[in-house]
Amino acid sequence: MSNQRPQRVIIAYGDSSTKEIEFAKLSRVAQAELLRLANSPILSRLPHLPQKYLLLEWKDGCQEVAGIEKHCSEILRYYVIQRPEETGRLAIECPGTYPEFRIIERHPRQLEKVSIIDGKNRKMYSLAQDRVAREGDKTEYHYKLNKVDEDSVKEIVSALKKVLKRNGIRADEVLAMNDTQRTEEYEKIRREIGLRAYEKEGEALGFLQMMLETIAKDNGASET
């Protein structure tokens, strides 16, 4: 397979006409998905891996991770709109620009904790329903954000260490793999610890890379 970056996407229609789109003009989501379908290693093909992540945790134990802009600093608010379907809206403070919003479609009223993770720097919040506002057929559930000391990342790191030990491999050995091998190993680990991507598969794997780098840095080549 060529190591060169794709230049164009060609769409072929049923009447034999075609349309070309520059690959660079596609969204990061579309680029990552097209490359995945082409069996390209995800990590090596994403424009860049996020330096900060959002960890979402539900009451049923589900965990999802999403990349966010590195200047995002705080969770501003969380509320759920019911009309009649329920959709959650999470607002993240980004100093110097507009807040970043994330839409929560999976059991929005069951979301329990949200964390902003930047390596070892973490801000964690628990969610508690605060008030309910009704207007016509629309109901809004507003949540109070409480900063907590409980560190969910430690639980993820602990689960990672157990997987590494069970598989007989060290964190630094995984990080030293080539792009294809590393992507495959990350995906296998992701499934074993039950971590899901909020939207972009590559970002979930990038989060695992950050956690593995933390383990390797803390324990060095002696990690087992």
CA angle 129–204–103, rounded 5-degree value? 35
Q: In the prediction, which pLDDT does 37 show?
A: 61
Decide if 87 contacts 39 (C-beta within 8 A). no
CA angle 96–100–105, rounded 5-degree value? 175
CA distances from 146 to 71, 76, 115 (A): 21, 11, 11
Task: Decide which of 91 and 97 is more confident.
Answer: 91
Provide the 3-class DSSP secondary structure of residue 43.
Answer: helix
Predicted confidence (pLDDT) per residue in 132-157, tens digit: 999 989 999 999 999 998 778 889 99
Strand partners, 22: 8
Predicted confidence (pLDDT) per residue in 65-82, tens digit: 999 988 899 999 999 999
Rounded distance between C-alpha atoms, residue 182 and residue 176, angstroms? 8
Predicted confidence band of residue 36 (pLDDT cuts 50, 70, 90)? low
Provide the 3-class DSSP secondary structure of residue 183.
Answer: helix
Query: How much of the chain is helix, strand and coil, in % rounded to 5?
Result: 35, 35, 30
Strands 138-147 and 74-82: antiparallel
Percent of the chain with pLDDT strictly greater than 70: 86
Fill in the amino acid letter for 44. S
Highest mean predicted confidence (pLDDT) among 37-46, 86-95, 120-129, 148-157:
86-95
Token readout for 162 is: 């157990």
For all residues of the chain together, what is the average pLDDT? 85
Task: Decide which of 106 and 9 is more confident.
Answer: 106
Strands (E), 39-194: 52-58, 63-68, 74-82, 86-93, 100-104, 111-118, 121-135, 138-147
> Per-residue pLDDT for 46 more than 70?
no
pTM here is 0.74
Predicted confidence band of residue 3 (pLDDT cuts 50, 70, 90)? low
Rounded distance between C-alpha atoms, residue 30 and residue 84, angstroms? 30
Domains of the chain by residue range: 8-40, 52-151, 153-222
Q: What is the mean pLDDT of residues 113-137?
A: 91
H/E stretch holding 212 reads helix 201-219
Least confident range from 38-47, 79-88, 128-137, 157-166: namely 38-47
Predicted confidence (pLDDT) per residue in 184-211, tens digit: 899 999 999 999 999 888 888 889 999 9
Provide the 3-class DSSP secondary structure of residue 15.
Answer: coil
Predicted confidence (pLDDT) per residue in 98-110, tens digit: 899 999 999 999 9
Rounded distance between C-alpha atoms, residue 49 and residue 210, angstroms? 10
Radius of gyration for the chain, computed over Cα atoms and rounded to the nearest angstrom: 20
Q: In the prediction, which pLDDT does 143 show?
A: 97
Fill in the amino acid letter for 98. Y
